Every structure is written in C-alpha cells, then in structure tokens.
Amino acid sequence: MSSKIAIKGVMKMLDEESISTEDLLSDEFFKKYSSLNSLEAFEDKFNTNPGKGVTKEKQTQEIIRTYTEFKNIDEMKEKAIEFYAED
C-alpha cells in the first residue's frame, strides 16, 4: 500500500503538470484494473458518438463501468494516483 506522503507527492506533481496522463494511466495500470491493455485502447472506446439522448458524461461513465473495475472517473483517478505512488 502506498503511503500518504507518496500520494501527496504524486498529487503535487499532477498539479505542477510534471506527470503526464500517459504516465499516470500506464499500460500496467490498465492491465491490472481493466479488460483493456493500454490507455490507447481505452481512448479508442470514446471514438463513437453517444447514442441519442446520451450525454458525453453518461457515455464516459458507462465506458468506465464496462471496461474497468471502477464506477466513475474519480474512483479511477484515485486508484491511478495510488498505483503510480507505489512505483
């Protein structure tokens, strides 16, 4: 389990933009916490327009629920920070 200090350090690096999305959402993260193998594969799921009456936000939440272990983007972000801090 990662320490609070390590997590705070990662969050500070995010604020300073010294960690990229690609670093935080690594292939290892996706292999462990999703049915996909990479950020690129995850992003590919967003290449379709939402159905009639479906907002982008609702589409995003559905993609996260379908392809990852998470219920929403905030849960996914928190776990990605913890995962990165463990390295």
| Model confidence pLDDT, tens digit, residues 65-79 | 999 999 998 899 889
Confidence of residue 32 (pLDDT cuts 50, 70, 90): very high
Q: How far apart are CA 60 and CA 29, in angstroms?
A: 18
Q: Which of 10-14, 20-24, 68-72, 82-86 has the highest mean pLDDT?
A: 68-72
Does 39 score more than 90 pLDDT?
yes
Q: How far apart are CA 63 and CA 27, in angstroms?
A: 17
Confidence of residue 31 (pLDDT cuts 50, 70, 90): very high
Domain that holds residue 63: 4-86
Number of domains the chain is built from: 1
The mean per-residue pLDDT over the stretch 3-29 comes to 80
Q: Provide the whole-model pTM.
A: 0.79
Q: How far apart are CA 30 and CA 76, in angstroms?
A: 10
Query: H or E segment at 45?
Result: none
Those residues whose C-beta lies under 8 Å from the C-beta of residue 1, and which sit 6 or more positions away, are 82, 86
